[in-house]
Structure 1
Amino acid sequence: MRSSRVIIAAGAAVALVISLPTSASAASGPPDQQVWSNQLAAPFSLAVDGQRVLVADGGTGTIGQLQPDGSVAPVVQGVPGLAGLATRGAWMAYGSTVSEDPTQEESPILESGLNIRTPGGDTIYADLHAYEEEHNSDGDNAYGITDPESCVASFPGATYTGLIDSHAYSVASYQGGWLVADAGANAIMKVTDSGQISTLAVLPPVPVTITPQVAGLLGGLPGCALGGTFYSEPVPTGVAIGQGGAIYVSTLPGFPGMFASKGAVWKIDSATGAATQLASGFSQSTSIAVSGDSIYIAELAGAGVSVLKGEEVSSYAALPGALSVATAPNGTVWAATMASEAGPGTIVSISNGKVKVQGHVNR
């Protein structure tokens, strides 16, 4: 289940509008929101390095740098299926995906990988799709209605194991290399600067109770299936590094979990790959960022940006259509929203103090 395909199609269809930064009232609590740009289509990822703010717009295939006047200066253009962006000093890494028909959610993916741009300007391509064809990372996961006693257990396609699929969706710098949340493989991949790939963790299937609503989504299951469990694909959509190198992941489960507020935050054991769920109940969580002991989650279909501290989840900023989130070293939270019929996508800063951005572009 590649939940981002529909988002890409919607974002690409929106006309872009340019405007200067404007202020917006805070959603709740003391931080102020400032809208810096509203010329985005599908800003799947933000990368913040000091005062440099980069955005990966999957709707236009452009990596751009936010300017003080609200414009976005292109840095890399023409990237198919752009999603995921991270930097490490003069290094940059971003995901790209090629499908037969990008406007169709279930169109077969032909290519997907991580593009690693070196300080010298060369680009190394880590072929995640080829790696997935060889390893099928979630091949041991069972999805669907797996209970052999279920009245629908014998239905064609009621149960299936992980498919060969790859979609590089989110990227983070990690230990001199990169981590990729692969939304197709349902796994977190570790990639070296030279392009070598290994599987760090495979996310577990997500249980969804079969209610009358879920039964309808699944095509009208008989009443005897109610109360049973459907296991959705986890679909990792965000990966971020916290204190001490801790690895955090957001998931937006595949059908029908994406409609049941089953989005979650996980912590990954870097030694074993084990995934521990920290919180759930998010409405289409599409991105994650960490600052100190706070974990920020962008909820595309929820109230905006939420924050997880310890075991408590609360609303942080009301931003309908929140698609990506990132944090700056000084604690400023940056978020981007998805373009919709209501207007183009935006880049927003959320901070208690004055925020500045770097205008100089290093290409």
Structure 2
Amino acid sequence: MGIDLPLIWAVIIIFGVMMYVVMDGFDLGIGMLFPFVKAKGDRDVMMNTVAPVWDGNETWLVLGGAGLFGAFPMAYAVVLEALYLPLILMLVGLIFRGVAFEFRFKAKDDKRHLWDKAFIGGSLVATFFQGVALGAFIEGFKVVDRHYAGGSLDWLTPFSLYSGLGLIVAYTLLGCTWLIMKTEGPLQKQMHDLARPLALVLLVVIGIVSLWTPLAYPQIAERWFSMPNLIWFMPVPILVLVTFYGLLKAVARNANYTPFLLTLVLIFLGYSGLGISIWPNIIPPSISIWEAAAPPQSQGFMLVGTLFILPFILGYTFWSYYVFRGKVTHDDGYH
């Protein structure tokens, strides 16, 4: 039996995107939490919690995009053509966030508020349009003769806009629980106070998406509710509810690490639910990873290099988080 290269590449890309969502999610969330924190010193601490690691997080976005381009060129072409505008706006947001990150620490006190606003705006725009792109991806694309056949604004739908707002809530909760883990004192207490309402709003968001998608898209309803799939997939919504309960209990007892870990579990379960809804299609609603795959020779050649470099990426990612583990205080600085 031969090696299923499209399946291997699908796993690599899924893993890369998941790592990006987790790691860039909490620093985008920190940007969106800035309006709730007014004190300059607390804002400095918030940025210092991610200052040593934030730019390395985007390695995973590059890995996912490059993997899609090389292993599934048809999907890359269709998805980019369908989502040019939201993806460009997402990148503009990431640029503003990145520039604000660097210049804020160097700006004079009377100018720093401008970079704070750029940090907030860049984080909001990047997150919102990531969610919009995700919602449009779930809805699917019109493809004729292996080319995108829809309009330039087909991505602009109520569901995609709702997905953008939903991702803002998810990333903000991720950033909030990250700060619970990395800070102390009044700032940590403020994050504890914010975590509970954010978690409840996210539960509502997930509930609406869970109803909206099967009602609007029959193929998703059939995937989840036909037998024996219903039995196999039932643990996912049950685990979501159990995790939310554990998260609220952890916040109530002022836990340090548990809220962030449980929020990661929620993100993973949501990602799993997305995978269940569309698998094995890489261009929803009907083009599978095998139909969109590059020739085996191309995928095999790329796989050799990817398997060589992936341990290095994992290694320096782990090492950077290990070196900068622990609490961040007002005495710590950004260099």
Indicate whether the TM-score tops 0.5: no
Larger Rg: 1 or 2?
2
Higher relative contact order (CA 8 A, sep 6+): 2
* Larger helix share, 1 or 2: 2
| TM-score range relative to shorter protein | under 0.3
TM-score (norm 1): 0.26
